Amino acid sequence: RRHLLTLEELSLAELDQIHATAASFKKILTRSVKKVPALRGKTIVNLFLEPSTRTRMAFDMAAKRLSADTISLDAKSSSTTKGESLRDTAQNIEALQADMIVVRHSAPGSPLYLSKILGIPVINAGDGAHEHPTQGLLDTFTMRERLGSLKGRRVVILGDILYSRVARSNIQALKTFGADVTLVGPSTLVPKHLEALGVTVSHDLRSALADAEVVMLLRIQHERQNAGMFPSIGEYTSMFGLNQQRAAWLHPNAIIMHPGPINRGVEIDSELADGPRSVILDQVTNGIAVRMAVLYLCAGGQPEYVTPTG
């Protein structure tokens, strides 16, 4: 039994294994070949107690492409609305003979907790402001497709990082791959103490973007902030929003990433989000193959043989 709870605990060899397995699934599956029989007979439950479009659909598609049966449960239609606890909900899902559970929850550490009380693999699909491991895996997979080795690559993460589980998972994976990571934004959203994560913190957008090969925009998360936020949305956009003029500071071959959902005109202008340097929809598509790899490996499938790349 294997879980995926955080990228902090994965070695370079394990990240390579997941990416290599995802690459082989991506190669096998085409518009005409939609399924492989790898998880035939297994039932995977997607328990999403926070909203999601991309992650939930990609996990569902990934499971179906592995020939597993899937059931999705969300906060509104589950008995959590009647006060049933996460523990009872999850134990009932296991009693209903699910083989694996994919969980999104607002409480950091909830997938870890479930991994200790359940006898089936638990996959973290985002736990509060802690981690979003499959997002970090698909983002670094997309970077490697475009750039090759990430060792020494200049990656900038720009936006609401203090509250971002996407940033945390990306930072963990990028450090393991040897990338040079800079976090940028206002000091209220990107405080200096984040340097404890082993990255550089900057509040100077121009110098941070200079020659960066990847810029990853993050959404301002109104739902995790208190009222009276500084800077306001308008102030944020004027100081840190990515527009054509600021994108010109990047490396000429730089790629622009965003995990979605996008606040168009806030953290990124539409012409950049939809422009030739954007890989935002490639990230979404890669989310299927990466999640296929995660489900397959957590179910006990044999990884592709790979030579660690660094």
Q: Please check whether residue 153 is in contact with residue 74, taking contact to mean a CB–CB distance below 8 angstroms.
A: no
Radius of gyration of the chain (CA): 19
Which residue lies nearer to ligand CP by CB, 20 or 102? 102
* Residue 172, C-beta contacts closer than 8 angstroms, at least 6 positions apart: 6, 7, 8, 10, 131, 136
Q: Please check whether residue 180 is in contact with residue 152, taking contact to mean a CB–CB distance below 8 angstroms.
A: yes
Ranked by CB distance to ligand CP, the top (closest) residue is 55
| Per-residue contact string for residues 163-202; x = within reach of ligand CP by CB under 6 A | ----------------------------------------
Q: In whole angstroms, how close is the CB of 132 to ligand CP at the nearest point? A: 6
Q: In whole angstroms, how close is the CB of 310 to ligand CP at the nearest point? A: 27
CA distance 26 to 31: 11
**The only residue of 135, 142, 176, 202 in contact with ligand CP, by rule CB under 6 A:** 135
**The only residue of 156, 259, 288, 297 in contact with ligand CP, by rule CB under 6 A:** 259
By CB under 6 A, tell whether 260 contacts ligand CP.
yes
By CB under 6 A, tell whether 140 contacts ligand CP.
no
Nearest CA-CA partner of 120 in 61, 52, 45, 70: 45
By CB under 6 A, tell whether 159 contacts ligand CP.
no
Q: Please check whether residue 58 is in contact with residue 284, taking contact to mean a CB–CB distance below 8 angstroms.
A: yes
By CB under 6 A, tell whether 238 contacts ligand CP.
no
Does 224 belong to an annotated binding site?
A: no
Does 132 belong to an annotated binding site?
A: yes
Does 153 belong to an annotated binding site?
A: no
Does 206 belong to an annotated binding site?
A: no
Strand partners, 45: 71, 101
Query: Coil, strand, or helix at residue 149?
Result: coil
Which residue lies nearer to ligand CP by CB, 133 or 241? 133
Q: Where does this chain touch ligand CP (CB under 6 A) — which range of 50-58, 147-155, 232-240, 266-274?
A: 50-58
Which residue lies nearer to ligand CP by CB, 129 or 205? 129
CA distance 101 to 71: 10
Q: Which residue has the tokens 């959590």?
A: 80
By CB under 6 A, tell whether 251 contacts ligand CP.
no
By CB under 6 A, tell whether 53 contacts ligand CP.
yes
Q: In whole angstroms, how close is the CB of 236 to ligand CP at the nearest point? A: 20
**The only residue of 6, 21, 55, 172 in contact with ligand CP, by rule CB under 6 A:** 55
Q: Which amino acid is at 164?
A: S
Q: State phi, psi for 72 to the nearest 5 degrees.
A: -115, 140
**The only residue of 17, 21, 43, 52 in contact with ligand CP, by rule CB under 6 A:** 52
Crossing angle between the packed helical segments 110-117 and 86-95, to the nearest 10 degrees: 50
CA distance 47 to 55: 11
Nearest 5°: the CA angle 168, 9, 195 is 40
Does 104 belong to an annotated binding site?
A: yes
Size, binding site for ligand CP by CB under 6 A? 10
How many other C-beta atoms lie within 10 A of the C-beta of residue 120? Answer: 21
Which residue ranges make up the annotated binding site? 54-55, 82, 104, 132, 135, 165, 219, 260-261
Q: Tell me which residues touch ligand CP (CB under 6 A).
A: 52-55, 126, 132, 135, 259-261
Which residue ranges make up the annotated binding site for carbamoyl phosphate? 54-55, 104, 132, 135, 260-261
